[in-house]
Amino acid sequence: MSEKIALITGANKGIGFETARQLARQGVHVILAARDRAKGVEASLKLQAEGLGVEALELDVNSLSSIAEAARGVEQKHGRLDILVNNAGVLVDDASKKPSEQTLEVWRKTFDTNLFGLIAVTQAFLPLLRKSAAGRIVNLSSILGSSTLHSDPSSFIYNFKVPAYNVSKAAVNAWTVQLAWELKDTQIKVNAVHPGHVKTDMGGEAAPMEIVDGAKTSVQMALIGADGPNGGYVHMGETLPW
């Protein structure tokens, strides 16, 4: 029970991959979950070559059968889970269209991954997290999920409207609050995090933050102690406005 076990969705690249690296460097055994098993194995081999304790796991957050099979595999091999990082996400908004013009297909695809997939994964692994001495759930949100900032004309994100993505992250925030209430009397803590605007496939090369920094908030919240927050929305230790 001395070695913590973490599972990260969408961990074969970007922030998820770097989060896996940083947690493994802290002595956590990390399960890199990826929709494409081959890519997950390739990513895990890279970290294993660095001497880090990681393994690959096939997990498609849009498939209930895939999620269930992954949960069974983790239970059989490890018997518990200490950290769940819900990192997988998509941004498929059509930048040329206004909020009211985004297709229902865009809304559904976004919510299927960013919200419903996240909830499904959490539900499947919660029984294993309950077996941990100090379970931690980290939900990857975004500053773009802040309704407070989106409604403030003086805010730096006021004119940055990718509506399906933004609303899905606001929903992730709301889900985090609901789950935190449920878990308030347990050893499990759940928080939403904003990684920052990071140089990833989603963030683009012009983003101001490097991937190594984009993973830091997820790692911090995955490793918080008993006095850490529950139901928070944070970036680099600072509380963000809902």
Residue-wise pLDDT for 40-58, tens only, equals 999 999 999 999 999 999 9
Confirm whether 169 is a catalytic residue.
Answer: yes
Task: Read off the pLDDT band of 208 (50, 70, 90).
Answer: low
| Residues 6 or more apart whose Cβ sits within 8 Å of residue 68 | 124
Instruction: State pLDDT tens for residues 210-236.
Output: 889 999 999 999 999 999 999 999 999
Segments making up each domain of the chain, as ranges? 5-239
Catalytic entry in 169, 189, 199, 216: 169
Q: Which 8-state DSSP code applies to residue 189?
A: E
CATH class of the domain at 5-239: alpha beta
Catalytic entry in 4, 13, 77, 165: 165
Residue with tokens 């930048």: 95
Lowest mean pLDDT segment, chosen from 2-6, 12-16, 119-123, 134-138? 2-6
Task: Kindly state the average pLDDT of the residues 8-24.
Answer: 97
Distance between CA atoms of residues 191 and 209, nearest Å: 22
